[in-house]
Amino acid sequence: MEAAALLLVLCALACPHPLLARVVGDDEDGFAECNVFFKDQSPPEGFGGPSRVKICQKYNGEPRFATLYSTENKIPVYSAFRYREAAPSQGEGWLLEAQLDDPENAAEEMMEEAEAKESIGELGLHQSLNEDYTDPNYQPFTLNPGFLNEGDYQRATYTLTNAVPVPQSFRKSWSLEVGHIVKEALVQQCENGEDLYFVTGAVPSDETVNNKIAVPESLWLAACCNTAEAWSMGFIQKNNDVKLESLSMEELKKHLPEEVNIFTNPCGEGTENAQQSKVLETINQRRAEEAEEATGPFFRFIRFLARVVYGIVKTVFYIVWFFIEQIFNIIAGGICCLWDGAVSYLLAISGVLGTIPIDIIRVIGNILMGCVRTINNVLTVVGMILRVPLRFLLDLGNFPYLTLCAIPTVGKEIAVGVFGSLGLLIDSIFSLTGSSYSVTSFACNRFLQRLPGFSGGSDE
């Protein structure tokens, strides 16, 4: 059973997984099944509007994070997620949400732009497209950072409904700062990140990319450690700045254009505790170390070489990993095919073996019926052979009995015949005598009538 389960897992890994998302209706509570990414399942308040759409981002059929998307600015207002595990970004391709431009579309599956163009007429009317990011000064960047997720959760972040256009310099500084703060400070001070809730947002500016996508004025991050001693912190970075600013939640709200409440249920706002102080201490210590490392041309040269080596190693690693992944997919696919063939063969053999007892019983029944018919035929022949002498012997044995029994009957018949013959003889004699008498009487009468002088009346 363990081997079968392992093979099924390998088959699942070798096959592509669907990236899913769905637009949440206004009649549904919050973000529906994606409410689990908010503290106490309560989404932020104050971010609503006619051009805001709630999206429950999924991967492989499971919720991964929630996004409030602006169809006017073509960028997300915010994305909410839980901390899982940081991992290097894989640089996956960007996908689209079909229901934004086609509300009647029943498909909840995110799709590639080329595929969406075939089924949606006004594609890009309410969302950004890959072709909109043609400005070399801006690149799409995941608002829910892909580098703070791993596996399925990271793959789910690569959708344009979770992307904002940022300069390359901002992208690097934000990723570096947020990555270190989350992994080295927030996670360490919040029980290894098991109770961390994050909301990341973008403040739009008047600048656009291709007169369509709003360039963020700043990106912000709100973190809530939902433990017994709950505490929260905010971070914000301007588009033209390379420094991430640490703020309290009250201060962060002042930088947002709307009157909002990010954590609707209080998460330690307005209070200070030891964890917050340690987070700020970790951030300041790291920045001091970076500043110390950055001083002097020698250290800058060493850092440059380190980045070059890191880039080369990273590229080689990705190339090796690509070939390993392809080999693994080929092997896993072969194992899946072999497994399917083995299962089909075993099922066929099981079907054949299952009919053997029935065939054996049928053969035994035919043999017994044949034996019964043979015995019946033998007895019939023996009976036919013995029937003639038995009948003769029976007739011979019955002859004396039948003969003796027939004597009275024969004697009776003879007596009846004799007495019958005597009766007939007597009747004949009497009949002859009567006839003779009648003839004689008639003759005499006729004779007397002929005599002369004899008158009639002689008959009397």
CATH number for position 67: 3.40.570.10
Measure Cα distances from 99 to 21, 339, 342 in Å: 9, 39, 42
Instruction: Give me the pLDDT at residue 423, please.
Output: 84
Q: How far apart are CA 192 and CA 445, in angstroms?
A: 172
Task: Give the closest residue to 217 by CA, choosing from 262, 259, 257.
Answer: 257
Q: Which two tokens stand for residue 342?
A: 């083995």
Amino acid at 30: G
- 292 falls in which pLDDT band (50, 70, 90)? low
Average predicted confidence (pLDDT) for the chain: 83
Q: Which two tokens stand for residue 401?
A: 């009995």
Most confident of 37-46, 91-100, 341-350, 407-416: 37-46
- Write the pLDDT tens digit of every residue in 343-397: 888 888 888 888 888 889 988 999 999 899 999 988 888 888 877 677 777 777 7
Tally the domains of the chain: 1
Q: How far apart are CA 304 and CA 286, in angstroms?
A: 19
pLDDT at position 4 over 50: no
Q: How far apart are CA 84 and CA 156, in angstroms?
A: 13
Burial class (CB in 10 A: 0-12, 13-18, 19+), 171: middle
249 Cβ partners below 8 Å, 6+ apart? 222, 232, 233, 234, 262, 263, 267, 269, 270
Q: Which two tokens stand for residue 209?
A: 């990319």
- 14 falls in which pLDDT band (50, 70, 90)? very low
Q: Which two tokens stand for residue 252?
A: 């962060």
CA dihedral 144, 149, 150, 156 (to 10 degrees): -20
Tell me the β-bridge partners of 199: 80, 222
Tell me the β-bridge partners of 63: 58
- 263, 41 contact by CB (below 8 A): no
- Write the pLDDT tens digit of every residue in 314-339: 889 889 988 898 898 899 888 988 89
449 Cβ partners below 8 Å, 6+ apart? 456, 458
Instruction: Give me the pLDDT at residue 26, please.
Output: 79
In a domain, 398, yes or no: no
In a domain, 116, yes or no: yes
pLDDT at position 303 over 80: no
Instruction: Give me the pLDDT at residue 294, please.
Output: 56
In a domain, 275, yes or no: yes
- Write the pLDDT tens digit of every residue in 163-198: 999 998 898 889 888 988 998 889 888 877 788 999
Range of the domain at 167: 17-295
Write down the residue that tokens 């299952």 correspond to.
Answer: 354
pLDDT at position 459 over 60: no
- 438, 430 contact by CB (below 8 A): no
52 Cβ partners below 8 Å, 6+ apart? 68, 69, 70, 71, 77
In a domain, 280, yes or no: yes
Instruction: Give me the pLDDT at residue 138, please.
Output: 92
In a domain, 104, yes or no: yes
**pTM, rounded to two decimals:** 0.60
In a domain, 251, yes or no: yes
- 36, 64 contact by CB (below 8 A): no
Q: How far apart are CA 58 and CA 113, in angstroms?
A: 18
Q: How far apart are CA 17 and CA 208, in angstroms?
A: 34
